[in-house]
Amino acid sequence: MSGRLGTADVIVIGGGLHGCSAALHCARRGLSVAVVEKDTVARHASGVNAGGVRRLGRHMAEIPISVASMALWHRIEELVDDDCGFQPAPQIKVAESEADLAALAEREARLRAAGYTHEELLDRDRLFALLPALSPHCMGGLASLGDGFAEPYRTTFAFARKARALGVVFHEETTVEDIARAGDGFEVKTGRGTLAGARLVNCAGAWSGRFAERLGEPVPLEPMAPMMIVTARVAPFCDAVVGATARPLSFKQMPNGTVVIGGGRLGSSNLATGRTDIDFGELARTARTAAEIFPVMAAQRIVRCWAGIEGRMPDDIPVIGRSSTTDGVVHAFGFCGHGFQLGPAVGSIVADLVVTGQTDMPIEPFSIRRFATTG
Amino acid sequence: MTADYDLAIIGAGPAGLAAAGLAAELGLTVALLDEQERPGGQIYRAIETVGASRPLTAKALGPDYERGRGLVDAMRAARVDYLPGAIVWNVSRELAVNFSRQGGSRELRARHVLVATGAMERPVPVPGWTRPGVMTVGALQIMLKTSGLVADGRVVLAGSGPLLLLLASQYVEAGAPPAAVVETVPRARYVEALAHLPKALRAAGYLAKGIRLMRTLARAGVPVYRGASDLSVEGGDKATGLAFTQGGRERRVEADLVALHQGVVPNQQITRLLGCDHVFDDGQRCFRPVLDDWFATSLDGVSVAGDGGGIGGAVAAEHAGRVAVCGIAHRLGALSEAQRDARAAPSRAALNRDLAIRPFLETLYRPPREVLEPADDVLVCRCEEVTAGAVRGAVALGCPGPNQAKSFLRCGMGPCQGRVCGPVVSEIIADALGSDPGAVGYYRIRPPLKPLTLGELAALDTDTESGTA
């Protein structure tokens, strides 16, 4: 189909949390914005992730953004007119062995040396005071007490709704077929017509690689499908978000009593169809971890298992920054399964880059050039 | 990957039983998994035990029920690995079937999977339908078949569909005539259905049976209220009566138990989980998987026979099971194309004869709008307590389909996995958007299909390689 779909100052590809946040922050800076989404808002990782709002355990490079985003989360309603189901709660990583304890102590020391104080060591007594239902073999922990969790679909939907209220136009179920330079700006060819814009933002998650490639800066982005479990309601027994040190786990009890268990074990995904499939052999290991750390869980009923599609970079941190080849393009993708908490702040960074080409945040480690091969 | 069986059949009702017997005869290795401890499905439930131990119940259930005995006997005599009490909680696109049985979980792999999981009753969300003292007609029939029990007190049966009259008549035969039957078929519908009568005469046995059932009710003096609408279950903590409108007048019947029914719809959980293509069937007013002439789905290696592929009833299911197996045996190399066609011909002819009644029944018993699109204050998702009005509110906020409504409201996220609210939520959203259910779609169904404890999953023994991404 041809024809003009619209014109905007900024065209954002991708209606996940990062795309919606970028659109919202651009609109707040007075720009006209169009978001193009091949499915519907929050269809993939943004709508179905574990919802952890976590500074704990972040890659050193992500900490400044994570800290800035945490401040936004604590007053998220001011930003999007919805509390996004955000609940302040401790995030705690549990040590199950002496080696785990040593690793956590080393981590805490490294952060302190870098000037961060949000992560603190817990001795066994303090750990069990916070998490009485833990298995007795747990020995201590590392906590970020001012973190929390939120409802992912509701959050992304709230960002989209607020963006719409500020004039952002959403083109859902609209697939981007090609992007091309047109004068100083861009033409984005979609299945429903062409969009013209002065600036382009690539927030297409696991699907971002093809746009980077089109711009002459291919990236080693792979799809990943972290699997999640939710149980039937259980009487309240845990009000922190719990992880393990030596094995993947993310564990939390929601206010309605259900328990959401994830942590990064992967199912399979298909970028062409958007379908994910659960690998139960693999998910059994997550179930084992959860039941070993919280023995009460073994008898609980699983209601549903699912996985969302997300993009992953080889070094497990995202791409955030300006294009290395094309003026007017900003990338924010490849959050490797831990982008949810970063969403509010990264949208603001993207808006800064769109408007001024600069940002105060240290984003050099996220440069798209870091995997570029020469020659 | 080596398969444990040529064919895994899920469900031991008429389709699954007939399919298992024929598949074994054709030389396929067959596993027949069924949730119940005894074969027969819902329609022939407890068929092996009723006749011998409870002759009075057998008499009440009538001769059509007896038909199941032959199917069960044939399956028992065939070389089939029959696995009763097997609760299938996942089927993968690679045709691995995960099931719980005897306290543990197992996985079996098959070269072909035949889904024969039949139908489920269409939910009937009328005001008060979640009150204690409200059941479905199907649930009452299960009590009768399994334990020979009839409900105590004044039982009112309400709604429409063949099962409504059948159970009413079975209650009469069992010596417990219902206090009233309230039928929601509008008068004009009879006229509309007459157009399909000539075709229906090809399956005249069904018409005769319907007339017999109505005579039984009349003879027993059971009051039958026809053309009722605006059904509402009254009471506080417990149902005390059913209110409705008939001929412009408001009426009320006292009841200790109200049993609702609006026909049955295919159980799509497995085919949805597998991502098979589905279509909305306007005649049956429900989704069903898209099937070819041999009952194969859009996913290679998966077929559906019986009511799970579209409502045809127990006898049609039996024939469909045999036709499906002919197609499967050909796909697996056990029958040539000519052998397949020859072998399937009698079953296909019988199937077509039997299905001749469907257009008549579908027209006559089309569910009323008040059930498809309930009033705002009626609960549609019982697990998460979401009302029809909340779903309409989500649409107004921009939720374009059932999956967004599910994420937004949690409807369909409870232990029933959306079985109950799924059909209604698609109807409500379609209506609110001026669209149709086929266009707005249906919940994405996630595993496990049946409750599974975390401990059971933790103990799952699979030797699959880890790390697929």
Q: What is the pLDDT of residues A213-223, one digit of tens each?
A: 999 999 999 99
Q: What is the pLDDT of residue A135?
A: 98
Query: Is A290–B454 a contact, with Cβ atoms under 8 angstroms apart?
Result: yes
Question: What spatial distance separates the first Cα and last Cα of chain B, rounded to whole Å?
Answer: 19
pLDDT of residue B463 exceeding 60, the answer is no
Query: Is A268–B464 a contact, with Cβ atoms under 8 angstroms apart?
Result: no
Closest to B265 measured CA to CA, from B207, B312, B228, B302: B312
Query: Is A305–B400 a contact, with Cβ atoms under 8 angstroms apart?
Result: no
Average pLDDT of every residue of chain A? 96
Both tokens of residue A174?
A: 């609209």
Burial string for A84-113 (b: 16+ CB within 10 Å, else e) reads bbbbebbbbbbbbeeebbebbeebbeebee
Over its C-alpha atoms, chain A yields an Rg (Å, rounded) of 21
Q: What is the pLDDT of residues B212-229, one digit of tens each?
A: 999 999 999 999 999 999
Query: Is B469–A281 a contact, with Cβ atoms under 8 angstroms apart?
Result: no
Q: Express as a percent the part of chain B with pLDDT over 90.
A: 86
Query: Is A282–B460 a contact, with Cβ atoms under 8 angstroms apart?
Result: no
pLDDT band (50, 70, 90) for residue B104:
confident
pLDDT of residue A68 exceeding 70, the answer is yes
Query: Is A266–B458 a contact, with Cβ atoms under 8 angstroms apart?
Result: no
Query: Is B92–A300 a contact, with Cβ atoms under 8 angstroms apart?
Result: no
Residue A285 sits at the chain B interface (C-beta within 8 Å): yes
pLDDT band (50, 70, 90) for residue A139:
very high
Query: Is A304–B398 a contact, with Cβ atoms under 8 angstroms apart?
Result: no
Q: What is the pLDDT of residues B76-88, one digit of tens each?
A: 999 999 999 999 9
CB proximity list for B53: less than 8 A, separation 6 or greater: none
Query: Is A291–B460 a contact, with Cβ atoms under 8 angstroms apart?
Result: no
Show residues of chain A in contact with B98, CB under 8 Å. 280
Show residues of chain A in contact with B394, CB under 8 Å. none
Show residues of chain A in contact with B417, CB under 8 Å. 303-304
Give φ, ψ of B27 to 5 degrees: 95, 10
Half-sphere exposure of A356 (CA within 13 A, CB side): 7
Q: What is the pLDDT of residue A373?
A: 67
Q: What is the pLDDT of residues A285-318, one digit of tens each?
A: 999 999 999 999 999 999 999 999 999 999 999 9
For A40-72, the DSSP string reads -TT-SHHHHS--EE--TT--GGGHHHHHHHHHH
User: For chain A, what's the residue count?
Assistant: 375
Q: What is the pLDDT of residue A168?
A: 98
Residue B463 sits at the chain A interface (C-beta within 8 Å): yes
Show residues of chain B in contact with A287, CB under 8 Å. 454-455, 457-458, 460
**Distance in angstroms (rounded) separating the CA atoms of residues B431 and B408:** 19
Q: Min CA distance, A45 vs chain B (Å)?
A: 13
Q: What is the pLDDT of residue A109?
A: 98
**Distance in angstroms (rounded) separating the CA atoms of residues A128 and B291:** 56
Query: Is B455–A291 a contact, with Cβ atoms under 8 angstroms apart?
Result: yes
Query: Is A301–B452 a contact, with Cβ atoms under 8 angstroms apart?
Result: yes
Strands (DSSP E) along B207-277, which ranges?
Answer: 224-225, 228-235, 239-246, 249-254, 257-262, 264-266
pLDDT band (50, 70, 90) for residue A94:
very high
CA nearest to A41 within chain B: B404
Q: Which of residues 82-111 of B touch A (CB under 8 A)?
A: 90, 92-93, 98, 107
pLDDT of residue A374 exceeding 60, the answer is no
Burial string for B209-242 (b: 16+ CB within 10 Å, else e) reads bbeebbebbeeeebebbebbebbbbbbeeebbbb
Per mean pLDDT, which range of A81-90, B63-72, B304-313, B431-440 is the poorest? B63-72
Average pLDDT over residues B401-424: 91
Q: Min CA distance, B401 vs chain A (Å)?
A: 10
CB proximity list for A279: less than 8 A, separation 6 or greater: A227, A265, A266, A267, A268, B464, B466, B468
pLDDT band (50, 70, 90) for residue B464:
very low
- Picking from B93, B457, B461, B465 by the largest number of A CB atoms within 10 A of its own CB, the best residue to mutate is B457
Average pLDDT of every residue of chain B? 94
Tell me if the bond preceding B448 is cis, omega within 30° of 0. Answer: yes
Residue A267 sits at the chain B interface (C-beta within 8 Å): yes
**Distance in angstroms (rounded) separating the CA atoms of residues B94 and B110:** 9
pLDDT of residue B153 exceeding 60, the answer is yes
pLDDT of residue A356 exceeding 90, the answer is yes
Q: How many CB atoms lie within 10 A of CB B198?
A: 10
Query: Is B457–A280 a contact, with Cβ atoms under 8 angstroms apart?
Result: yes
Average pLDDT over residues A25-43: 97
Question: Which residue is associated with the tokens 């390689």?
Answer: B465
Q: Is A312 exposed, middle or buried (0-12, 13-18, 19+ CB in 10 A)?
A: buried
3 state SS of A239: coil
Contact B366, B186 (CB under 8 A): no
If phi over 0 gives left and psi between -120 and 50 gives alpha, with beta otherwise, what is residue B238?
beta
Q: What is the pLDDT of residues B59-75, one digit of tens each?
A: 888 888 989 999 999 99
pLDDT band (50, 70, 90) for residue B465:
very low
CB contacts < 8 Å between A and B, how many? 121
Closest to B370 measured CA to CA, from B124, B163, B172: B124
Show residues of chain B in contact with A282, CB under 8 Å. 464, 466-468
The 8-class DSSP code of residue A226 comes to B
Amino acid in the structure at residue B263: G
Show residues of chain A in contact with B467, CB under 8 Å. 266, 282
Show residues of chain B in contact with A157, CB under 8 Å. 398, 404, 407-408
Average pLDDT over residues A93-98: 98
pLDDT of residue B467 exceeding 60, the answer is no
- Is the full-model pTM beyond 0.90? yes
Q: What is the pLDDT of residues A317-355, one digit of tens each?
A: 999 999 999 999 999 999 999 999 999 999 999 999 999
pLDDT of residue B431 exceeding 80, the answer is yes
**Distance in angstroms (rounded) separating the CA atoms of residues B423 and B315:** 25
Query: Is A275–B446 a contact, with Cβ atoms under 8 angstroms apart?
Result: no
**Distance in angstroms (rounded) separating the CA atoms of residues B290 and A289:** 40
Q: What is the pLDDT of residues A171-211, one digit of tens each?
A: 999 999 999 999 999 999 999 999 999 999 999 999 999 99
Q: What is the pLDDT of residue A372?
A: 82
Residue A294 sits at the chain B interface (C-beta within 8 Å): no
**Distance in angstroms (rounded) separating the CA atoms of residues B393 and B386:** 11
Q: What is the pLDDT of residue B466?
A: 40
Picking from A42, A222, A232, the nearest residue to B415 by CB comes out as: A232
**Distance in angstroms (rounded) separating the CA atoms of residues A208 and A191:** 17
Average pLDDT over residues B355-375: 94
Residue A302 sits at the chain B interface (C-beta within 8 Å): yes
Residue B468 sits at the chain A interface (C-beta within 8 Å): yes
Query: Residues B249-255: contacts with CB within 8 Å, 24+ apart?
Result: B251/B225, B253/B156, B253/B179, B253/B180, B253/B182, B253/B223, B253/B225, B254/B154, B254/B179, B255/B133, B255/B153, B255/B154, B255/B155, B255/B156, B255/B179, B255/B180
Question: Which residue is associated with the tokens 């009644």?
Answer: B357
Q: What is the pLDDT of residue A316?
A: 96
Q: What is the pLDDT of residue B267?
A: 96
pLDDT band (50, 70, 90) for residue B1:
low
Q: What is the pLDDT of residues B14-23, one digit of tens each?
A: 999 999 999 9
Query: Is A278–B90 a contact, with Cβ atoms under 8 angstroms apart?
Result: yes
Q: How far is CA B469 from CA A281, A286, B285, B373, in A?
A: 14, 16, 39, 42
Q: What is the pLDDT of residue B204?
A: 86
Show residues of chain A in contact with B459, CB under 8 Å. 284
3 state SS of A205: helix
Pairing of strands A268-270, A275-277: antiparallel
Q: Min CA distance, B449 vs chain A (Å)?
A: 8
Show residues of chain B in contact with A306, CB under 8 Å. 446
pLDDT of residue B174 exceeding 80, the answer is yes
Residue B1 sits at the chain A interface (C-beta within 8 Å): no
Query: Is B458–A288 a contact, with Cβ atoms under 8 angstroms apart?
Result: yes
The 8-class DSSP code of residue A245 comes to S
Closest to A296 measured CA to CA, from A238, A375, A241, A360: A238
pLDDT of residue B468 exceeding 80, the answer is no
Q: Which of residues 186-245 of A touch B (CB under 8 A)?
A: 222-225, 229-232
Q: What is the pLDDT of residues A126-137, one digit of tens each?
A: 999 999 999 999
Picking from A230, A266, A287, the nearest residue to B458 by CB comes out as: A287
Residue B420 sits at the chain A interface (C-beta within 8 Å): no
pLDDT of residue A50 exceeding 60, the answer is yes
Query: Is A280–B460 a contact, with Cβ atoms under 8 angstroms apart?
Result: yes
**Distance in angstroms (rounded) separating the CA atoms of residues B183 and B368:** 11
Q: Is B136 exposed, middle or buried (0-12, 13-18, 19+ CB in 10 A)?
A: buried
